[in-house]
Structure 1
């Protein structure tokens, strides 16, 4: 499993909550199970899965939430190589997040600060300073809003 796979899994999981569309994939059993099947994962307890997602989003800058609860993660040695696995999506995502943390890449997982967006993204900038999920959309919108506010008061 590569760090690219871990990044994709973590972002896909965090973005099962779509603030802009006011949609939560966890509330749609059919789409949620299709999401899991596409990634070869099992569901686990829905309340626990939601708590893990919301806790991780809170950790990286989303709406304040309780820290994510623990999940079952197993470490084994397969063909002489340590392998981390989990029985369900919550454990798989936390295992992926922990691998990113070990690689020093967890800080690159961010939440767009735009209230109407809050999309999770991975900051690939050299100095880790990217703020917006998309400068063309959210960043530009926020800069225009700030300019209008400054123009009103000036």
Structure 2
């Protein structure tokens, strides 16, 4: 299945969506599996610097905590404790701080490599919570997919990364179950 047809999230929230999608559940590929795959993904997303095996283990844990938060967005239940803990941890690690200007406040982080990616993730999540776009970032409810997507539906009730793919699979499954009396 081609994943490039799905709508992008606004601004830096797209970076978060892309980070979560470093794991393609359906294909069984993980762009955070080793230093080489990390560098390919990082270069594509303008992140400079290597990542150690320990860094990548942390990144995989953070990714799944964020995915858990995206699943919680379906119920509008707020950030789960695991996501809060993961975001706090990477905010500290990336030295994210508030910076004020005459026009407002912004979050800024420091570091290179994976810490720069963590800073971008933390600031994007914080800013999207503030501007109410966070709840539109979701993970597909199809357990065999779990692709991160930006819900563009007016009612914010999108469940699948693609209605024509995963939505259709769910409808077919329900139809078969009803037909078979299961």
Instruction: Identify the TM-score tier after normalising by the shorter chain.
Output: 0.7 to 0.9
> 3-state SS of the aligned residue for 2:149?
strand
| Aligned residue among 71, 76, 82 for 1:61 | 71
Q: Deviations over 1:34-65 (max 9, x none)?
A: 21122222456223222211111111218x99
Q: Which runs of 5+ in 2 are unaligned?
A: 1-8, 73-79
Aligned residue runs from structure 1 range 4-153, under 5 A: 4-41=10-47, 42=49, 45-61=55-71, 66-67=82-83, 68-70=86-88, 71=90, 72=94, 73-77=96-100, 82-86=105-109, 87=111, 88-153=116-181
Contact kept? 1:111, 1:121, Cα under 8 Å: yes
RMSD (Å) for aligned C-alpha atoms = 2.4
Q: Any conservation in 2 of the 1:48–1:69 contact (CA below 8 Å)?
A: no
In 1, distance between residues paired with 2:31 and 2:40? 10
The TM-score with structure 2 as length reference comes to 0.73
**SS at 1:121 equivalent:** strand
Deviates more, 1:72-81 or 1:131-140: 72-81
Give the C-alpha shift of residue 79 in structure 1: 7.8
Query: For the residues of structure 2 that align with 1:118 and 1:102, how far apart are their CA atoms?
Result: 25
TM-score (structure 1 length as normaliser) = 0.85
Distance in 2 (CA, whole Å) between partners of 1:66 and 1:46 is: 18
4+ runs of 1 displaced by more than 3 Å?
77-83
What 5-or-longer segments of structure 1 have no aligned partner? none
